Amino acid sequence: MRFIRDDHLRAWLDRLAGEYDLVAPRDVDGHLLYRPVESSQNIVFDYERPELSAKDFLFPPSETLLRITRQADGVTMEEVLPQRQQVIFGLRPCDARGLLAIDALFIAREPVDTIYAYHRQRTTLVGLACPRMWEGCFCTSIGGAPDGTEGLDLLLTRHDDGYAVQVLSDKGAALAAQMALEERAGEPPPSERNAASVPLPPPADWPAWFNDPMWSRHGERCISCRACTYVCPTCRCFDVTDEVIHADTRGTLIERVRTWDACTSPNYRRIAGGHNPRAKKPDRIRNRFFCKFHYYPTDFGPTGCVGCGRCILVCPVNIDITEVLRDVAAHVEGRSSQ
Amino acid sequence: MSTNPLRPYLGRLVGKKDLATGIQMFQIELLEPEGQAAFADYRPGQFAFVSAFGAGEAPFGITSIPSRGPLLEFAINRVGHVTQALHSLEVGDPVGVRGPLGNWFPMDEIKGRNILILGGGIGGAPLRPVIHTILDNREDYGHMTILWAARSPDLLVFTDEYDTWRHAWATDFHVTVDQGDEHWTGNVGLITQLLEKLAPSPQNTVAITCGPPIMIHFVALTLQRLGFAPDQMLTTLEARMHCGIGKCGRCNLGEKFICVDGPVFWQHEIAGFLEGFL
């Protein structure tokens, strides 16, 4: 195996921090988050699952799509994109798979979302395998693994006095070329898996249960706080609005801003005349789960869930995605045994 | 890198007039060659986002047809933040236009058929291009019956065109309002009541409906009673979209997106949707 010692890894990260926009697990007032870091000293190496996914750095919660300048002689529009290359270090494998799900819609399906594609192209993903699965995790039930490599450019796995390094792409190879790698005998053991698994009913099994009363049971307690979509690595709905940044006699500076949106918010489907076809909470909860397990895989390929379990931990009323999956699976099972 | 699909083309407001209470007609000239090329051949039923810079953008059905001239026309109801800002614009002001987006009415496929058009309120806006296309290519289509409706007389759109429509060859025009006023002498009642009274024959006919969701729903039921089959009914749906290119999620009807799978749908497609629009 290729191997890097702790001290060499830190030196490599310190060099990256100078050349790239470096994002890594960081303690922010007691919250473990992917955040920009200035040196390896800011990085937490021993952590569980960051509280938020890494989508922030490719599909930011709020991002200027266009800077619009309006003056007497007309209007000009320009994109304001960061120039530096970006490295996300310490990415958990589930979060890399979350980006693959967003790619399937934003990049693989025409027209390409050029701004998201630009962020993807400028970013290298350096994964750090989870030694085991954490509270709420069910990645192995959704086709992933705590030490999965899908979507990553490099994967590091903790071993002895450093990390085993797997090079998974050309981008990864380019970064690894700057690492003080050594060859060592052996391989790190695979990460621990949870014994229990969650059923994943195939997309085609869902429509039969669209009008089932289970959606009232799961959805009535929803308080439409939208935390589930906020922490989700695959939720990608967005709103676009204008903000006036500055206005004076010479002209107006406007930013056209894309912000995260959530299908669980009450007015999501409200139309201009005021009609709202999804005014009821169970209908919105149903949409969220149908999107993840029926619409998204049917329309775009990947499942819209990577089993990170964040939405389970963050929900203030204990709506549990694994409970929904078990419920649908039990319905499917019940019908096929009839 | 390919072109950012969320960047609007620059345009200028060159005409603006009141159509009805709270509804104005906007005429827009596109200023950039790329925008002019993009809108060279847009189709009846397609939509576009119009930007009031500083307030935002919103999607509207295009109410003009390219064969009648290069200006883009939109009938815009003042109902929210963006439409309020658009109504405040003056002739000469800059605007942005993004499109054309979505599918369109199959005007070629329905050639030779009788056409029944049912427009309710601002829902008449995306139907005007259908009417104009038929009027300008009259021999390509059979009889045209137009049923036009609004909640009240002051909300009727395109009133200055009614005489032209009424007197066109092989064209009937009927209008009704939910509630009249002291000057109104015409039909009073819902468009479905007028439809039942007129009872147009489904024979070789295609019905095209746009209006509020509740109207689309009940018009479809009435048409069904009159013998119209689902493959004789077209409608166009709306949503408060944010992208128009199938990304933002806002307009999903089950696994469909109104913006890219529609906005024009046959009734049999709608009947097959997992999730309803009502």
Domain ranges within chain A, ordered by starting residue: 2-336
Residue A220: Cβ within 10 Å count: 12
Residue B170 Rama label (left phi>0; alpha psi -120 to 50; beta) = left
Which candidate from A263, A270, A277 shows the least CB-CB separation from B278?
A277
Cα distance between residue B250 and residue B243, in whole Å: 8
Across the beta sheet with A123-128, the strand order is: A31-36, A21-28, A86-91, A123-128, A154-159, A162-167, A2-5, A182-183
**Do B213 and A239 count as a contact with CB atoms less than 8 A apart?**
no
Locate A213 and state its tokens.
Answer: 């009363």
Say what the pLDDT of residue A272 is. 87
Which candidate from A70, A111, A294 shows the least CB-CB separation from B53?
A70
Q: Mean pLDDT across chain A, nearest whole number?
A: 96
Cα distance between residue A183 and residue B78, in whole Å: 69
Q: SS3 of A280, please?
A: coil
B51 CA: distance to closest CA in chain A (Å): 9
Pick the closest to residue B239 from A268, A102, A187, A201 (CA basis): A268
Between the alpha carbon of residue A275 and those of residues B33, B50, B74, B112, B249, the distances in Å are: 38, 22, 21, 36, 18
B175 CA: distance to closest CA in chain A (Å): 21
A119 CA: distance to closest CA in chain B (Å): 12
Residue B230, preceding bond cis, omega within 30 degrees?
no
Per CB-CB distance under 8 Å, the chain A contacts of B122 are: 273
Pick the closest to residue B128 from B201, B186, B74, B189 (CA basis): B74
Instruction: State the pLDDT confidence band at A273, using cuts at 50, 70 and 90.
Output: confident
Interface test with A, best of B252, B273, B278 (most A CBs within 10 A): B252
Cβ distance B246 to B232 under 8 Å? Answer: no
Which candidate from A70, A79, A239 shows the least CB-CB separation from B94?
A70
Strands B233-236 and B205-210 turn out to be parallel
A238 CA: distance to closest CA in chain B (Å): 5
Check CB contact of A207 with chain B, cutoff 8 Å.
yes
Mean pLDDT of A36-53: 97
Pick the closest to residue A92 from A322, A309, A308, A305 (CA basis): A308
Which candidate from B2, B57, B214 shows the least CB-CB separation from A240?
B57
Check CB contact of A75 with chain B, cutoff 8 Å.
yes
Residue type, A49: R
Cα distance between residue B145 and residue B175, in whole Å: 11
**Do B240 and A271 count as a contact with CB atoms less than 8 A apart?**
yes
| Chain Cα centroid distance, residue A189 | 27
Say what the pLDDT of residue A338 is. 60
Locate A292 and state its tokens.
Answer: 């993840």
**Sequence-ordered list of residues with C-beta below 8 angstroms from that of B137, at least 6 positions apart, any chain:** none
Which candidate from A115, A258, A269 shows the least CB-CB separation from B239?
A269
B56 CA: distance to closest CA in chain A (Å): 5
φ, ψ of residue A295 in degrees (nearest 5) = -65, -50
Q: Which residue has the tokens 């620059």?
A: B10
Mean pLDDT of A167-191: 95
Pick the closest to residue A301 from A94, A108, A92 (CA basis): A108
Radius of gyration, CA atoms only, chain A: 22
Cβ distance B105 to B44 under 8 Å? Answer: yes
Q: SS3 of A200, please?
A: coil
Q: SS3 of B191, please?
A: helix
Pick the closest to residue B175 from B154, B153, B160 (CA basis): B153
Per CB-CB distance under 8 Å, the chain B contacts of A290 are: 254, 274
Cα distance between residue B96 and residue A68, in whole Å: 11
Q: Which domains does chain B have, with CATH numbers?
A: 9-101 (2.40.30.10), 114-236 (3.40.50.80)
Say what the pLDDT of residue B1 is. 46
Mean pLDDT of A250-279: 95
Which candidate from A207, A252, A272 shows the least CB-CB separation from B274?
A207
Which candidate from B10, B55, B243 shows the least CB-CB separation from A75?
B10
**Do A79 and B4 count as a contact with CB atoms less than 8 A apart?**
yes
Across the beta sheet with A62-71, the strand order is: A74-78, A62-71, A251-260, A238-248
**Do B254 and A295 count as a contact with CB atoms less than 8 A apart?**
yes
Residue A336 or A259, more confident: A259
Nearest residue in chain A measured CA to CA from B96? A75
φ, ψ of residue B233 in degrees (nearest 5) = -125, 125
Q: SS3 of A258, please?
A: strand
**Do A242 and B3 count as a contact with CB atoms less than 8 A apart?**
no
Strands B114-120 and B205-210 turn out to be parallel
B133 CA: distance to closest CA in chain A (Å): 27
**Sequence-ordered list of residues with C-beta below 8 angstroms from that of A149, at least 6 positions apart, any chain:** A93, A127, A155, A166, A168
**Do B2 and A111 count as a contact with CB atoms less than 8 A apart?**
yes
Locate B179 and state its tokens.
Answer: 């509630």
Check CB contact of A81 with chain B, cutoff 8 Å.
no
Cα distance between residue B257 and residue B241, in whole Å: 10
**pLDDT tens, per residue, chain B with 278 residues:** 468 999 999 999 999 999 999 999 999 999 999 999 999 999 999 999 999 999 999 999 999 999 999 999 999 999 999 999 999 999 999 999 999 999 999 999 999 999 999 999 999 999 999 999 999 999 999 999 999 999 999 999 999 999 999 999 999 999 999 999 999 999 999 999 999 999 999 999 999 999 999 999 999 999 999 999 999 999 999 999 999 999 999 999 999 999 999 999 999 999 999 999 99
Mean pLDDT of A123-150: 97
**Sequence-ordered list of residues with C-beta below 8 angstroms from that of A300, at least 6 positions apart, any chain:** A101, A104, A105, A108, A109
Residue A100 has pLDDT above 60, yes or no: yes
ipTM of the complex: 0.94
**Do B250 and A268 count as a contact with CB atoms less than 8 A apart?**
yes
**Sequence-ordered list of residues with C-beta below 8 angstroms from that of B10, at least 6 positions apart, any chain:** A74, A75, A77, B30, B31, B32, B35, B94, B96
Cα distance between residue B6 and residue B97, in whole Å: 10
**Do B248 and A272 count as a contact with CB atoms less than 8 A apart?**
no
A126-185 residues touching B, CB cutoff 8 A: none
Per CB-CB distance under 8 Å, the chain A contacts of B80 are: 272
Which candidate from B1, B55, B56 shows the least CB-CB separation from A114?
B1
**Do A263 and B249 count as a contact with CB atoms less than 8 A apart?**
yes
**Do B54 and A65 count as a contact with CB atoms less than 8 A apart?**
no
Say what the pLDDT of residue A73 is. 87
DSSP assignments along A145-182, one per residue: -TT--TT-SEEEEEETTEEEEEE-SHHHHHHHTTS--E
